[in-house]
Amino acid sequence: MPTTFKRILVGVDDSADALLAFRYAIHQAKRDGAELVIASVLEKETMNVYQALDTDFIHGQYDDLKRHVREYQQQAEDAGVADVRIMIAEGEPGETIVKEIIPQVKPDILIVGSIAKKGVSRHFGSQAAYMAKYAPVSVLVIR
């Protein structure tokens, strides 16, 4: 008998794999009648030091990201997912999702793409591997 999820967390960053993960998460949420939480992380590491110190720049980046993730929310709603919400956080994506977003959201499963958009986290291996290893919930890695 297949598992039914009540709350699905999907991480998005516009990479091809993340878009596949997002489509899979929509399908799963519709199948299960689950709440879908779409999360994205604003990475300060990709900013230069002047941008990182400029609160107006950070707020602008944050607002842009929030608007963009709302487009994902609209897509999910248009596809027939009844309960969709978004979360935006700042930091290193894998760690932020594991340590901040999952404890707040309390999902049954995390769905992520296998390759990050910018090839981040050279020191830890891939973001997906980090999340799969350290997340306190099941992680489905899509490629």
Question: CA-CA distance, 11 to 9, in Å (whole number)?
Answer: 7
**Domains assigned to the chain:** 7-142 (3.40.50.620)
Number of H helices, E strands in the chain: 6, 5
Determine the pLDDT at residue 53: 63
Q: 130, 94 in Cβ contact below 8 A?
A: yes
Q: Which two tokens stand for residue 84?
A: 């969709």
pLDDT by position in tens, the chain (length 143):
568 999 999 999 888 889 999 999 999 999 999 999 999 998 866 656 656 666 666 677 888 899 999 999 999 999 999 999 999 998 889 999 999 999 999 999 999 998 765 544 444 457 899 999 999 999 999 98
Return the percent helix, strand and coil in the chain, to nearest 5.
Answer: 50, 20, 30
Confidence (pTM): 0.87
